[in-house]
Amino acid sequence: MNFLKAFIFSLFLCLGIAKANPLDTIALNTTALDTIMTLDTTVTVAPDTKNTITILADTSFADTIATDSAKIKPGLYFFFSVGAQFINFKDRPKFQDLLDTQFVEYMNDYLEDPTGSLPLQQNFQTVNLAFPIMAGIIWQISDMHSLGMGAGFLYDNESVILMDKDGNTYNLKYVLQAFPIFAEYRLSISPDLISLKNGDYFSLFFRYYWMLPGTEIYSSWGKAEADFDPLGSGYGIFLGYRFWEWKNLSIWGEIGYLSLEVESGAKDRILDAWNLGGVSILLRAMF
């Protein structure tokens, strides 16, 4: 009887454990979790096309503003420029010969009476360098074309010192002086043809010159006043680059060549004609 009770008790205990086993629940939860993970991995986020379009539009708008700001607005402007010019003065040897002749006289005097000190000579420079200044007005027709008129001043003083046997010094010189006026045409060059960076502003300048009275050569041996020629005295071609701008102010760098032939019909002139042209480098402010 006791054995029968023990057997029935053991049977009910096994049934209760089997009913309380959580394996089925764990398996069910694992299956549900796999389903959820599978659903999450298949979800894709659509691109924000609205923001992309806005960014592209803003970039295009900024490029348009940058392009417009690089243009010079039509209207009337003023300019002022300074620079350096290497004058192609082919008559320089004539003044050197006059200097040598003067020195020979001092040397002959010393050789006839070799008392005192040996005469000394300083030669003229082999390069004629001037620093022209110019000012004028510009009518800006469009961002591609402009017309202008200007006036300038050019001055080159070449002086040397001679010393005779008595120690006396003499300052001998010749001076190139010019008062040019000019008409100007500017043509902008497309960045597709010549450019260093985005937004460069290259231009060609064509100028035609007249020499006003006061253009002359004067020296220790005489002078020559240039005649005014209503047909003009020469031309210049320059390549300009606008490298800085702020509002209506533009700064240009220019390099070019001039050919300026002048003549003198004055009596007792030291030269009949001479050239005041050459290679020129300019810095221009336009406002």
Instruction: Examine residue 4 and state whether it is found in any structural domain, yes or no.
Output: no
Count of CA atoms in the C-beta half-sphere (13 A) of 186: 24
Range of the domain at 124: 72-286
Mean pLDDT across the chain: 81
Task: Tell me the pLDDT tens digit for each residue of 8-62.
Answer: 444 444 444 444 444 343 333 434 334 333 334 443 444 444 444 343 334 444 4
Contact between 218 and 174 under an 8 Å Cβ cutoff? The reply is yes
Task: Tell me the pLDDT tens digit for each residue of 85-133.
Answer: 999 999 999 999 999 999 999 999 999 999 889 999 999 999 999 999 9
E strands, 17-130, are: 75-87, 120-121, 128-130
Instruction: Examine residue 253 and state whether it is found in any structural domain, yes or no.
Output: yes
Mean pLDDT over 167-180 rounds to 96
Instruction: Examine residue 108 and state whether it is found in any structural domain, yes or no.
Output: yes
**Number of domains forming the structure of the chain:** 1
DSSP structural state of residue 255: E
Instruction: Examine residue 118 and state whether it is found in any structural domain, yes or no.
Output: yes
DSSP H or E segment with residue 153: strand 145-163
Q: Which two tokens stand for residue 34?
A: 């796999």
Instruction: Examine residue 57 and state whether it is found in any structural domain, yes or no.
Output: no
Instruction: Examine residue 76 and state whether it is found in any structural domain, yes or no.
Output: yes
Whole-number percent of the chain with pLDDT over 90: 63
270 phi/psi in degrees, rounded to 5: -85, -25
**What band does 196 get if pLDDT is binned at 50, 70 and 90?**
low
Q: What span, in angstroms and rounded, lies between the C-alpha atoms of 286 and 137?
A: 9
Q: Are strands 249-263 and 216-219 parallel, antiparallel or unpaired?
A: unpaired
CATH code where residue 116 lies: 2.40.160
Task: Tell me the pLDDT tens digit for each residue of 239-263.
Answer: 999 988 888 899 999 999 999 999 9
